[in-house]
Each structure stands twice: as structure tokens, then as C-alpha cells.
Structure 1
Amino acid sequence: MAPPAAASLSGPHALARQALSPFASRRSGRLSVLVVAPRPVSSLPVAALVPWRGRMVAAAATAAEMAPAVSGEDGKPFVEEMRAVAMRLHTKDQANEGEKEPEAPPVSMWEPSVEGYLRFLVDSKVVFQMLEAIVDRAVVPWYAEFSNTGLERSEQLKKDLEWFRLQGHIIPEPSAPGTTYASYLEELAEKDPQAFICHFYNVYFAHTAGGRMIGKKVSEKILNKEELEFYKWEGNVSQLLQNVRNKLNQVASSWSRGEKDHCLEETEKSFKYSGDLLRHIFT
């Protein structure tokens, strides 16, 4: 069940490679913001939009930074395999492992609108709500391992949308990119847990890196540098991410090689659905 076809764009993590640097605590017009400096981008996954071209195979990569974790059959933590497949969907100028040709202008050339950004936030809220509901419901018992990780975003998005409403903006209803993706996640969660985990990983990890940089760039252009709750976390983001990495590696340690490969094969679809949400911002 794929969303309407459209042109491809580079993933949000590409921005982090170009512009990401540690941020200090600073004050916006609305509230104090502390953004913890992230891990090096090379060790994070990417959400990029690419056409679905069929099956992929697991790719090897060297961990740029990795705490001790359960290793796969080849001695590599499974999250590093997930990262490696994602990195190969970059262009060469975005990552050494990249193999794709550039397909879109950089974010610095985007001309976002508040209306388009609101559509992105509304649809993102639908997706994050579904991810949170799935792990809380835990129809697969080990989904419960990923509840209350500190990476959850739906409540933050709810606050941000209320802030926009108080500024006089009309909040749109969810649209096809968000509802289609949420329905797909619900279907996977019931029938294909390995594929679901691929989406869980890429959505959350992408948002903490390239997604955060997109938010910063958009804020500079249309929100007078207002920093939204969507891009703030309680505690140390790097540690929150590492906690989830450890859980992902532990869960995947019980999977067969075929189940791991199946998870990796879902990466391009994950990027495509996430890219459909991002397209709201500049169209």
C-alpha cells in the first residue's frame, strides 16, 4: 500500500553531514531550549526518499562509535548493519558509503511555507502516535522493550500544533502521506515484526539528526527561529539513542539470518514513506 508516486529527494541526515554541529543552550522567543550535541552523523541512520526498486541485501560497515552490544553472526551489532544499508542510500557527497546520484536541491534552497510545514507536523504526529501505540500494545511481546524510550514525539507535536493554533493558524486534517504510512505500520506490526522494527529504527533515529537540522533550517526561514518541542528531548539524546541501540541489538540477537536480511530489505520503503512526509515542507 504505497502512497502516490512523486519525485525523490535526499534524506534529512544528509543535512547533518553538511551543517550539524554541537549546540549550546539558547533561548528562543518562547522558551529555553537545550539541544544535546548528537553522535557523529556517520553513525546514525538516514531517512531519504528513493523509489522502491526491490530487494536489498545486508551491507557491512565499520562502527564509528559503538558501546558494547550483542553481535550478529558476523560479529557486527545488528544496528550497524541497519545503519550501513541506510548509508548506502546516500549520495557520495553525503557519505563515503553513498551510492546514489543527487536528486534534489539542498534544504538551503527550499522555500517552505507555514501551511506546508503544518501538514508535515500533522502527518508526523499521526505516524508517531501509531508507533507509540504499537509498542504500548505489544502484540509481539518484545515490542514492549521500545516503550517509553524518551524518543517519543507525539505529545511534543501536540503542544507545537496548539502553539500554531494560538498564533492564528488553521491546523489541517491528516492527509494521505501520514495516514497511509500509519496504516502500513499497523499492518506490519501485526504480520511482519522484523519489517516494523526497520521503520521504528529509521523514523526515530533520522529525526534526531537530519530531521532536527531540517527543523532548524525551516524555523530560520519561516518561524523567526522559533524552536519547537518536536526537536527537544529530556535528558541526553545520545544516551537515549544508545539505550535503544542496545535493545535493538538484543532483540535481533534471537533472529535468524533470514529475518535480519528481511528487516534490512525494508529500508528503502522506510525512506520512501518518510520522504513523502518531508515533501509537505517544500510543496
Structure 2
Amino acid sequence: MVVTVVATTVSVEEERSKKKSTGGFVDEMRSVAMKLHGKDQSKGGEKETQGKPWPKWEPNIDGYLKFLVDSKLVYDTFDKIVDKADFPEYAEFKNTGLERTVNLLKDLEWFKEEGHSIPEPLSPGLDYSLYIEGLSKTDPHAFICHFYNTYFAHTAGGQMIGKKVAAKILNGKELEFYKWDSDLPHLLHNVREKLNRVAENWTRDEKNHCLEETEKSFKFNGDILHLILA
């Protein structure tokens, strides 16, 4: 179930991006994400689904706070990785405008002011943060796959989920997590170009290795998304 939901969030952005494609390796990452989405929606995949489809979900404040806290931990980790830049290509992704850490901090402060207790990160966020941190030091091609899928899924399907949750439990309040300071399509276009530029000098084997990491990205992000129902 979890993977199915995350695949959906990625595919929404991918469909939107078709007409604005910059070509290059980003198109390959998009294609793999869409194929994985189709696989997860197959009859066999549905048999493995233990939860309910999104329209029937019943999110709650406690679960949503867990989701936001774990999401912040993951975005914190991405920020630190690109800032440190153990591999030179990571520096391409500093200050892209897609960063979410500050926005999530504002949202958690708002919840605190509303009288809610902010939980500590749980295993989904902790596990993913540890994974991408380790990966970033030894395997830049796989790391780039996680960077792409995490940020781009949030700009489309993530917004859709945010609106559904807000309508159900926040009286329609739009959180900062779902706002960007600049024109979002322009930001996404710039990051796509950076991703293509980074991958220009990769070998075919290195590109394939990056693409093979997509399913793990879906799984980790899906575990965090599932916290909304915790």
C-alpha cells in the first residue's frame, strides 16, 4: 500500500512534466518512476495492499505531525549533504528553491502554538536519513535518484495529499510545507537542467545504477507518508 501511494505522487508530477521535458537523463528517471507506478497498481500489487485507497483514508493530527517531523528530518539530511558536497556534483543542488526545511520548521512552530506536542522522529524518517547519508558518501549516482524522487514527488502529489489532509483535519489551512518562494514550474525546470547536466558524463552502467534505486526511494518515502495514518 505504501509504495502504491508514493508512486502515485511521483507519477502526477511526471505527467505534468511531459510537455515541459528538457530531455536527457531526467526523462529516463521519469519513465522508470511511471513504469514502477504502473507495476504497483497492477492486480498483484493491489493484492498486497493492506490499507485503504487515499480517498477513504482518515488522517489525524497526531499522525500528520509524525509525518511532518520525519519529513523535516529527511529534508534536513538532504540539505546537509548538498551543503557538504562530498562529491562536487552535489553542489549543483544548493539553494535550488525546492528546500523544505525552513518551511517545515514554521509549520511545526504553528502546531506548537496551537497546543500540540511535537513528537520525536520515528524509524521511517530515521532509517531513510541514515540511508541517504551513507549512500551520499559512497554512491552519488544512487543518491541523485533519491534526491529527484523525494523533491519532485512533493511538488505534485505531495501538494494533492496536503490539500486533502488540510480539508479533513486543519479546516483547510495551507501549510508552509506546500508553498514556494518562487514560481514552482521555473524552479523545477532549473533543477531538471541541473540533473541532466550532472548525468551528462555518467556511463550507461552508472545511469542504470541510478535508475535501479527508484524502488527503494518509493519504499522509504512511502513509509514516511504512511505515518499520516499512525
State the TM-score, normalized to the length of structure 2.
0.92
**Structure 1 position 101, deviation (Å):** 3.7
For these two proteins, the number of residue pairs brought into alignment is 227
CA deviations over 1:193-234 (Å, ceiling 9, x no partner): 000000000000000000111111000000000110000001
Query: Are 2:193 and 1:246 equivalent residues in the alignment?
Result: yes
Distance 1:266 1:13 in 2: 13
Distance 2:102 2:65 in 1: 16
**Structure 1 position 41, deviation (Å):** 4.6
Within a 5 Å distance, the mapping from 1:67-78 to structure 2 comes to 67=22, 77-78=24-25
CA deviations over 1:82-105 (Å, ceiling 9, x no partner): 0111101223797xxx89743353
Query: Are 2:30 and 1:11 equivalent residues in the alignment?
Result: no
SS of residue paired to 2:201: coil
Among 65, 75, 79, which residue is 2:20 paired with?
A: 65
1:99–1:228: structure 2 CA closer, same or farther, 3 Å change rule? Answer: same
Gaps of at least 5 residues in structure 2 are none
Within a 5 Å distance, the mapping from 1:103-114 to structure 2 comes to 103=49, 104-114=51-61
Among 160, 165, 183, which residue is 1:236 paired with?
A: 183
User: Which is worse superposed, 223-232 or 102-111?
Assistant: 102-111
Distance 2:55 2:191 in 1: 31
Q: Match of 1:14, as an amino acid?
A: T
SS of residue paired to 2:215: helix
Greater relative contact order: 1 or 2 (C-alpha under 8 angstroms, separation 6 or more)? 2
Moved over 2 A (4+): 11-17, 91-94, 98-106
**Structure 1 position 11, deviation (Å):** 2.5
Partner of 1:276: 223
**Structure 1 position 185, deviation (Å):** 0.7
Query: Percentage identity across aligned positions?
Result: 55
Query: Are 2:36 and 1:42 equivalent residues in the alignment?
Result: no
Gaps of at least 5 residues in structure 1 are 1-6, 21-39, 45-62, 70-76
> Contact (CA 8 Å) 2:83, 2:94: kept in 1 or not?
yes
Partner of 2:204: 257
Q: Match of 2:15, as an amino acid?
A: S
Distance 1:268 1:92 in 2: 11
Among 112, 116, 120, which residue is 2:67 paired with?
A: 120
Partner of 2:135: 188
Partner of 1:134: 81
SS of residue paired to 2:228: helix
Distance 1:99 1:260 in 2: 30
State the TM-score, normalized to the length of structure 1.
0.75
Q: Where is the helix percentage greater, Structure 1 or Structure 2? A: 2
> Contact (CA 8 Å) 1:15, 1:107: kept in 2 or not?
no
1:173–1:92: structure 2 CA closer, same or farther, 3 Å change rule? Answer: closer
> Contact (CA 8 Å) 1:90, 1:99: kept in 2 or not?
no
- Largest Rg, 1 or 2: 1
Q: Match of 2:104, as an amino acid?
A: L
SS of residue paired to 1:91: helix
Within a 5 Å distance, the mapping from 1:211-230 to structure 2 comes to 211-230=158-177
